[in-house]
Amino acid sequence: MLKHFQVPDDIAIRIDVKKLRGLVEEIFIKCGVPKDEAVLGADVLIFADESGIDTHGVSNMLRSYVDLYNSKVLNPTPKLDIVKETPSTATIDGDKGLGIIIAPKAMEIAIKKAKEVGIGVVSIRNSGHLGAAGYHAMIAAEKDMIGWCMTGGGNAMIPTFGAEPKLGTNPIAFAAPCNNQPHFMFDAAMTSIAGNKIGLANRMGKGMEPGWVANDDGTPDMHGGNSADFAANSVRRQLPLGSTRELGSHKGYGLGIMVDILCGQLSFAEGFANLADNRRGHFVAAYSVDAFGDIDEFKNNMDEMMEGFKTTKPMPGHDRVFYPGLPEHEVRIERRKNGIPLHPEVIEWFKNICSELEIPENL
């Protein structure tokens, strides 16, 4: 299903991962981002591309980041300010830095606290786009911890029974380490579909599926249709996960509010109280598995559990059952070998921006 939002093979041009990574680093540096943070930002974007999460990779996000640096909305040299701190918590002001670079730093703080007292929870305000939340959760998993990451804000999701958007798409990411199996990595918007995917479907001329968006009056559209029927506006009339009350939309809606509370209210971020359009906040947490029991036993148990999902008898029309993190792992192996498939239009953008920023490129 990841494929639905990827560039078709016959159009895609494969770009070597290292080459693309180097180029992204250079672009960040030209935007004024210090070298080590440029490397980190590129790593977050490339992780998304490598993992098949094309919606959050270079093709979909980098140009918006560049625009936001150029227009001074984002600060390329933010100074993270720990506003308040306890042994297991921190409230951070991101100083208008880009979220994809702020969040890993916040996660390192959470991990340090988890090592010391068992749990580390960090709420973050005043920070830009978070990128693929799964990346940040996986930092904890790679260190034998359970990792959480969420980001809230914006107005895209319509409350159950409502006729106007009052919440963002508000993704939840959660990662837990395995021993021999790929780590469990869940990362999903609490709308029935990620906002970026509606944009991508529009751009690729694909229709909306039933249950993705609402009609003008707020009633759930359960028929689907051409993207033209919904136009760009549909991205701001998204249905909660569950789509209709009967199918459980109050659950996607409720989880969406939960994300807003953890990201925005807990970080005392501007605009969350009154559901302002421009609000944004993040949340990361690390749980030391060692604090609860033996890490090796945990990881072996995780292996066995994930194996149980993989070996589930499939329903007709499918030959395999996946678990979150497994398809991304398989795509990573393939793309690290064969390169990242980019749309020719994205290659064109790279050529233009490199020329503009005077970066040598050989894509």
Q: By CB under 8 A, what part of segment 164-223 binds its own copies?
A: 164, 166, 172, 174, 176, 184, 186, 188, 190, 192-193, 209-211, 214, 217-219
Q: Is 298 in the site for its own copies (CB under 8 A)?
A: yes
Q: What does the alpha-carbon distance between residue 181 and residue 177 come to, in Å, rounded to a whole number?
A: 9
Q: Is 26 in the site for its own copies (CB under 8 A)?
A: no
Give the CA angle between residues 290, 295, 296 to the nearest 5°.
Answer: 160
Cβ proximity to its own copies: between 48 and 189 the closer is 189
Site for its own copies in 144-163 (CB under 8 A): 146, 158-163
Q: What does the alpha-carbon distance between residue 260 and residue 155 come to, in Å, rounded to a whole number?
A: 11
Q: What does the alpha-carbon distance between residue 301 and residue 176 come to, in Å, rounded to a whole number?
A: 11
Using DSSP's 3-state secondary structure scheme, residue 343 falls into coil
Stretch of 56-64, 258-266, 331-339, 349-357 contacting its own copies, by CB under 8 A: 258-266
Least distance from C-beta 304 to its own copies, angstroms? 4
Residue entry with tokens 């996000």 = 61
Length of the chain: 363
Cβ proximity to its own copies: between 151 and 267 the closer is 267
**Contact by Cβ (8 Å): 159, 166:** yes
Stretch of 37-45, 60-68, 300-308, 340-348 contacting its own copies, by CB under 8 A: 300-308
| The only residue of 13, 108, 322, 353 in contact with its own copies, by rule CB under 8 A | 322
How are beta strands 145-153 and 119-127 bridged, if at all?
Answer: unpaired
| The only residue of 123, 181, 196, 202 in contact with its own copies, by rule CB under 8 A | 123
Cβ proximity to its own copies: between 55 and 91 the closer is 91
Q: Taking the chain, what is the end-to-end CA distance rounded to the nearest angstrom?
A: 28
Using DSSP's 3-state secondary structure scheme, residue 311 falls into coil
Stretch of 26-34, 36-44, 285-293, 328-336 contacting its own copies, by CB under 8 A: 285-293
